[in-house]
Structure 1
Amino acid sequence: METVATLDRRETGAAAAVAARAAARARIDDDKAMLKAAADLTRDLNVPKPRIYWADMLASAVIGYGALIIAILAPSLGWSIAAGVVAALALYRAESFIHELTHIKHAAVPGFRLGWNLIVGIPLLTPSFMYEGVHNLHHARTRYGTAEDPEYLPLALMKWWTLPVFILVAALAPVALLVRYAVLTPLSAIVPPLRRVVVARYSGLQINPSFRRRPPEGPARALWHRLEAGASIYAIALIALTATGIIPLKAFLIFLTVTSGLAVTNQVRTLVAHLWENEGEAMTVTAQYLDSVNVPPPALLPMLWAPVGLRYHALHHLLPGLPYHALGTAHRRITAALDAESVYHKGNYKGLPFLVGKIARSTMLRR
């Protein structure tokens, strides 16, 4: 849904220095040698492997839903919490394939979009239309980091309290999605002004509160309506079955808690996916890369909090069409081919604590 935070432009000397560095980064020219090397070294890696996509997604979903059932039926609180953590992480991995759906050619992995929506997207109330048609704008050369980017806010230049608000919004996402599909969807079908608001403001996984989505057209419109209807029927049924006692309230609350944990994990990952230091200027591809983050091995925890290739987010901004299973190989090739002074190495960071500390220190400079 949306995160609302106000950017105060009054700056201390230290904060002004951060803003100055951000402005300088926005003016960086493209490093043509790096861009050419990245493209040349990875040409053979651009084909998605359907077996990997299906096996990974299905295994993640089975583990996630299985752990969710155990969390609901567990005889003790401790076992319920442990199973809930496993469920949240596994379902987070399964849900993260929505990112791949926005980049791969669907004919390359037949049936995957439909299968993912039926197994993951609709049950978790995040059907693929909420990302397709939105995320691609984040990769548009002239939109990244601007007011027209649905997935960007200058978080590093905002007040310190915007970070906990940013996370809190994600914690409430499961309830917001239930309202969106169980209440707003059927109401908006008969109230045209409400429908325009729902489409523009509540139909994308975005963090920029000023972004307004355009209505879908052509084949995308038909797909949107089918997926939205499916999610609406599911949300209404879930609430009705809980209200009538068919689904125990405990089970419903555990489901909401697990999906809230999933959403918070993703929001923390989003918090460190970029440096968030751009104030609206258009940026070159190299500048976008330097404003983005890779967390490569030997760090191990990114496998959990940045799954499905998201640990290579900066590399992804260089090569957005590269399938997730090829990003590790691509990173190793590029790292080995480019010398230590290459811009490429400046996009690599140690891990989550360092990145959270970096953005937190930046916001603390704001008075």
Structure 2
Amino acid sequence: MSEAMTSTITFDRAVTATGATSTRVADDKAMLRAAADLTRELSQPKPAVYWGDLIASCGIGYGALVVAASASSTAIVTVAAIVSVLALYRAMSFIHEVSHMKHSALPGFRAGWNALVGVPMLIPSFMYEGVHNLHHAKTRYGTAEDPEYLPLALMKPWTLPLFIVVSALAPVGLLIRFAVLSPLSLLSPRLRTAVVERFSALAINPQFRRRAPEGEAKRLWDRVETAASLWAIALIAMAATGIIPLRSFAIILGIAAAVAVLNQVRTLVAHLWENEGEPMSVTAQYLDSVNVPPPTLLPGLWAPVGLRYHALHHLIPSVPYHALGEAHRRLTALLEPGSPYHKASYTGLPVLVGRIARSTMIRR
């Protein structure tokens, strides 16, 4: 997930020694077959886990947000803000599960997530549904048609810090998108087209343009967008009239910005970003993606809700987040040491950031 509003920034590429060799990797049939066979019975989501995790994350996140926004002690504000960021980030990350799940298997979860997270945080599920699935399409991954891919490892060094810093503007951008652009777009078909195509996707590819929804998807979109628009207008009105003190409003925006930055950092290390636009085999896509498995503990905070197994997720996207750990253990035990499966595991965030940073500095 970026996973902020579609950026219009154009990144210049740096020609590097990493190249796009991954596009020439043939599929490892033994790994793909094992992934399918060993995880078949793990594909059923557990409603109690989903609802319990989401409700607990929201309860902790919003509770800490209220403490941070109302406390006078700097120390209390700081601690509460950190707790709020981590908990709300976890709650937000369920948008990834919503985009993959069969909604009949978890009745009401999408509506519940939108009510608890999507609308309050101005990231309704339609911003990811219909977008993220394109990232998993075999012929689109890593190409110009992938909304969630940029060859960051092949770009100029300055693009990496810019990629992170620009995400801090996401809360303001989302307020503008829903409080200003949504209502105005009702008056202008041309503006409405631009809003749908360019400002309605949690994507990082600035060239991506999404299609307008149709049928039931459009009806859901309209309902949730209306709710998000009314909420965004209400937030601005409450801040402008003093119902929400400006200091508290600034803290809330700061926490939201920190959530966006944390998510962008996670996005930065979700892949190796070494493909130059050619279609890739499933194995190549897997090797361009990242697992950060145990015993490392911190990924549970910066890559929650199964995102620490991002490479594995690309092999078995239908397996729910709570089963990915077991799937990883099974595959690790079965597949021989020389299997490509083991080559997508890394030890932590510093190693991954360092690898991408070095790649941007290498010249051919």
Q: Does 1:198 pair with 2:172?
A: no
Q: Does 1:244 pair with 2:248?
A: no
Q: Sequence identity, in percent?
A: 67
Aligned to 2:47: 50
Q: Does 1:332 pair with 2:329?
A: yes
* Residues 232-273 of structure 1: CA deviation (Å, up to 9, x unaligned): 000000001110111111111111000100000000000000
Query: Which of 146, 159, 163 is equivalent to 2:160?
Result: 163
- The AA in structure 1 aligned to 2:176 is V
Q: Does 1:351 pair with 2:348?
A: yes
- The AA in structure 1 aligned to 2:170 is A
Cα drift, residue 7 of structure 1? 2.7
Q: What is the alpha-carbon distance in structure 1 between the residues aligned to residue 360 and residue 73 of structure 2?
A: 41
Other structure's SS at 1:106 match: coil
Q: Any unmatched runs of 5+ in structure 1?
A: none
Cα drift, residue 8 of structure 1? 3.1
* Residues 24-65 of structure 1: CA deviation (Å, up to 9, x unaligned): 211111101100001101111000000000000000000000
Aligned to 1:6: 11
Aligned to 2:175: 178
Q: Does 1:268 pair with 2:265?
A: yes
Q: What is the alpha-carbon distance in structure 2 between the residues aligned to residue 264 and residue 180 of structure 1?
A: 19
State the 4+ residue runs in structure 1 displaced beyond 3 angstroms.
none
Q: What is the alpha-carbon distance in structure 1 between the residues aligned to residue 248 and residue 70 of structure 2?
A: 8
Q: What is the alpha-carbon distance in structure 2 between the residues aligned to residue 38 and residue 246 of structure 1?
A: 53
Aligned to 2:131: 134
Q: What is the alpha-carbon distance in structure 1 between the residues aligned to residue 309 and residue 13 of structure 2?
A: 31
Other structure's SS at 2:100 match: coil
Give the RMSD, CA atoms, in angstroms. 1.0
Q: Does 1:123 pair with 2:120?
A: yes
Cα drift, residue 366 of structure 1? 5.0
Q: What is the alpha-carbon distance in structure 1 between the residues aligned to residue 222 and residue 104 of structure 2?
A: 21
Q: Any unmatched runs of 5+ in structure 2?
A: none
Q: Does 1:145 pair with 2:128?
A: no
- The AA in structure 2 aligned to 1:100 is E
Alpha-carbon contact 1:160-1:366 (below 8 Å) kept: no
Other structure's SS at 1:278 match: coil
- The AA in structure 1 aligned to 2:294 is P
- The AA in structure 2 aligned to 1:84 is A
Q: What is the alpha-carbon distance in structure 2 between the residues aligned to residue 149 and residue 90 of structure 1?
A: 29
Alpha-carbon contact 1:70-1:80 (below 8 Å) kept: yes
Q: What is the alpha-carbon distance in structure 1 between the residues aligned to residue 13 and residue 59 of structure 2?
A: 45
Q: What is the alpha-carbon distance in structure 1 between the residues aligned to residue 6 and residue 225 of structure 2?
A: 19
Give the structure-1-normalised TM-score: 0.96
- The AA in structure 2 aligned to 1:57 is L
- The AA in structure 2 aligned to 1:90 is A
Count matched residues.
359
Q: What is the alpha-carbon distance in structure 2 between the residues aligned to residue 213 and residue 254 of structure 1?
A: 33
Alignment of 1:19-30 (within 5 A): 19=19, 22=20, 24-30=21-27
Other structure's SS at 1:289 match: helix
Give the structure-2-normalised TM-score: 0.97
Aligned to 2:56: 59
Cα drift, residue 328 of structure 1? 0.1
- The AA in structure 1 aligned to 2:356 is I
